[in-house]
Amino acid sequence: MDIKGKVIHRLFGKWHEAVFFGDPPSATCIWRANPMPMNYEQYYGFTKFAMELNELEPSLKQLLPPTDTRLRVDQR
Q: Higher pLDDT residue, 35 or 53?
A: 35
pLDDT of residue 76: 60
Q: Tell me the average pLDDT across 19-28.
A: 95
Tell me the average pLDDT across 19-27. Answer: 95
pLDDT at 21 over 90: yes
pLDDT given for residue 54 in this prediction: 79
Which conformational region is residue 73 in: left (phi greater than 0), alpha (psi within -120 to 50 degrees), or beta? alpha
Q: CA torsion, points 4, 5, 6, 12, in degrees to nearest 10?
A: 150
Model confidence band, residue 61 (pLDDT cutoffs 50, 70, 90)? confident
